[in-house]
């Protein structure tokens, strides 16, 4: 009887779940550096940090992603052992609503907080679109005045400049949902489903233009693929206020506001929204934020349904090349607005609130695209091991370097092949390697190798004289190790 062949063990695939990714050294260092710069601006404006759990109850999160109507769609949720449903947070605003409602008697009013961290969305992933990503929010809860909205806009402007987006390469664009509501009122559209269709059509203005919106508000249109897209079914007369609204941007804020007044007609809510935009413009001008930084733009339509007043979006205006080599603007990296009804879910009372969210990964991508990352991940100084019986000597060097504030490590691999130690240091992007053999130890010296300079020399220097004038490896007194390593690191940084 033949023996059964042993089955090979089933090994798990070394892959992250679909739609997730790993972040390595440089990614994390750059992100932390940028978040530190953002934090400094938020702190300067008087906002306090808040950290809330990554997991909230489904009840606390309430309606999930606003563009998803199916229960539990768009979030990662599960049922706990006590039958309670929980979910990973899909943004940082819904948790804020729960926190403020829970601690409102202890918190100052208004309450100003910022929060940073990962959020999760159970959506179909795509190129550059992941199910886990970072957000960076700042919100003011309990301030009914649009001065709070204006402050968010100025802070957003300052934040972009602080991280390395210069004036002229971005624009904070402001609109007001009350103006949109006024347009809908003037149109006579009262059905909520039809209102949602109109808002979705308005949101396509940048892609299909005035004629495309006009067609989509009416019977429909053929898209680029030749497919017919059904329209909302409005008459030309009903559509007119929408077109007037979308084309109301004038040469300056005054002209834009005048055109908006015509678009909303006699709608009280629409005129109230225009008055709020006018106030924001006045506050911006008084603070020194001109139209080159913050401007009123009626084409901004934030998709989230809980916005009730001013809405704003930060757009990067510089050009990049897409994957087909075509020029296009980088686009939006941040958005937000006023959401006065969100906290009412918990308290039953109207609580005014406004805030902004920055897409951290997208803003990082923009900075990398323009070569504006100011922080470069630095590898550690590597103390090589020439004699495995003298680990105490090498560890002492490492401790001296660390105590002087220098990132350092002793080589922990197999020290048999010295070349592999230098290859390791190169792979770590180490600025300096420290070498001490038996002879060096006996003579009270060590050798330090400028790895960054060595790489440059091999690529740039053509003659022996130039090479000798810039030696990449030098002998120094053991007592001078810390000072000389500092000088070598500084020299490498100056060249960068």
In a domain, 328, yes or no: no
- Give the CATH number, domain containing residue 361: 3.30.930.10
Centre a 10 Å sphere on the Cβ of residue 424 and count the other Cβ atoms it contains.
17
Residue that is written with structure tokens 């010296």 in the block: 445
- Which of 314, 332, 353 is the last residue in one of the domains? 314
Is residue 293 domain-shared with residue 250, that is, in the same domain?
Answer: yes
pLDDT tens figures, 121-170: 988 888 778 899 999 999 999 999 999 999 999 999 999 999 999 999 99
The per-residue pLDDT for 210 is 87
pLDDT tens figures, 404-417: 999 999 999 998 88
In a domain, 330, yes or no: no
pTM: 0.83
Is residue 38 domain-shared with residue 117, that is, in the same domain?
Answer: yes
Query: Over 80: is that where the pLDDT of 4 sits?
Result: no
Q: How many residues does the chain have?
A: 496
pLDDT tens figures, 370-400: 777 755 557 899 999 999 899 999 999 999 9
Query: What whole-number distance in Å separates Cα of residue 152 and Cα of residue 355?
Result: 7
Query: What whole-number distance in Å separates Cα of residue 317 and Cα of residue 305?
Result: 26
- Residues 6 or more apart from 249 whose CB is under 8 A from it? 256, 259, 296, 297, 298, 299
pLDDT tens figures, 94-105: 999 999 999 999
1 pLDDT band (50/70/90 cuts)? Answer: low
Would you give the end-to-end CA distance of the chain in angstroms?
A: 72
Cα diameter, the chain: 95
In a domain, 261, yes or no: yes
Is residue 22 domain-shared with residue 108, that is, in the same domain?
Answer: yes
- Which of 355, 377, 399 is the last residue in one of the domains? 377
Using an 8 Å Cβ cutoff, are 337 and 368 in contact?
no
Quote the tokens at residue 253: 């804020």
312 pLDDT band (50/70/90 cuts)? Answer: very high
Query: What whole-number distance in Å separates Cα of residue 29 and Cα of residue 23?
Result: 10
**Number of separate domains in the chain:** 3
Is residue 234 domain-shared with residue 292, that is, in the same domain?
Answer: yes
Query: Over 80: is that where the pLDDT of 260 sits?
Result: yes
Is residue 194 domain-shared with residue 285, that is, in the same domain?
Answer: yes
Higher pLDDT, 279 or 75: 279
Q: Which domain holds residue 265?
A: 164-314
Output DSSP code: residue 305.
Answer: T
């Amino acid at each position: 009887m033949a023996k059964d062949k042993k089955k090979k063990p089933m090994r798990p695939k070394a892959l992250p779940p679909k739609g997730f990714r790993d972040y390595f050294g440089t990614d994390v260092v750059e992100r932390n550096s940028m978040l530190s710069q953002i934090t400094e601006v938020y702190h300067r404006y008087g906002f306090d940090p808040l950290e809330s759990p990554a997991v909230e109850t489904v009840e606390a999160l309430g309606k999930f992603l606003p563009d998803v109507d199916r229960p539990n769609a768009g979030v990662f949720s599960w049922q706990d052992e006590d039958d309670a449903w929980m979910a990973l947070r899909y943004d940082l605003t819904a948790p804020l609503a729960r926190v403020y409602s829970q601690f409102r008697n202890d918190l100052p009013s208004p309450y100003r907080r910022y929060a940073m961290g990962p959020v999760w969305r159970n959506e179909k992933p795509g190129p550059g679109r992941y199910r886990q990503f970072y957000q960076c929010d700042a919100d003011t809860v309990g301030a009914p005045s649009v001065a709070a909205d204006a402050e968010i806009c100025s802070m957003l402007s300052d934040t972009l400049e602080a991280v390395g987006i210069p004036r002229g390469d971005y624009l904070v664009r402001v609109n007001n949902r009350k103006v949109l509501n006024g347009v809908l009122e003037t149109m006579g559209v009262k059905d909520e489903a039809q209102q949602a269709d109109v808002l979705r059509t308005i949101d396509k203005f940048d892609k299909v233009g005035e004629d495309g919106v006009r067609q989509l508000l009416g019977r429909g249109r053929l898209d680029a693929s030749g497919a017919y897209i059904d329209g909302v079914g409005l008459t030309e007369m009903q559509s007119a206020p929408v077109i007037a609204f979308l084309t109301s941007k004038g040469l300056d804020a005054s002209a834009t506001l005048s055109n908006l007044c015509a678009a909303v007609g006699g709608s009280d809510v629409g005129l109230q929204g225009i008055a709020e935009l006018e106030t924001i413009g006045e506050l911006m001008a008084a603070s020194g934020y001109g139209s080159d930084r913050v401007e009123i733009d009626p084409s901004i339509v934030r998709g989230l349904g809980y916005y009730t007043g001013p809405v704003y979006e930060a757009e990067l205006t510089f050009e990049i090349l897409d994957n087909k080599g075509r020029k296009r603007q980088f686009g939006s990296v941040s958005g937000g607005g006023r959401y006065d009804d969100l906290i009412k879910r918990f308290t039953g009372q109207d609580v005014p609130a406004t805030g902004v969210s920055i897409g951290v990964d997208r803003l990082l991508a923009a900075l990398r695209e323009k070569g504006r990352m100011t922080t470069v991940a630095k590898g550690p100084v590597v103390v090589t091991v020439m004699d495995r019986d003298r680990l105490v000597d090498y560890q002492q060097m490492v401790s001296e370097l660390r105590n002087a504030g220098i990132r350092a490590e002793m080589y922990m691999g197999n020290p048999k092949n010295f070349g592999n130690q230098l290859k390791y240091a190169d792979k770590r992007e180490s600025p300096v390697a420290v070498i001490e053999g038996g002879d060096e130890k006996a003579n009270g010296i060590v050798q330090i190798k400028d790895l960054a300079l060595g790489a440059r020399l091999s690529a740039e220097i053509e003659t022996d004289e130039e090479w000798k004038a810039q030696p990449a490896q030098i002998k120094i007194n053991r007592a001078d190790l810390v000072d000389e390593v500092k000088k070598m690191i500084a020299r490498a940084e100056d060249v960068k």
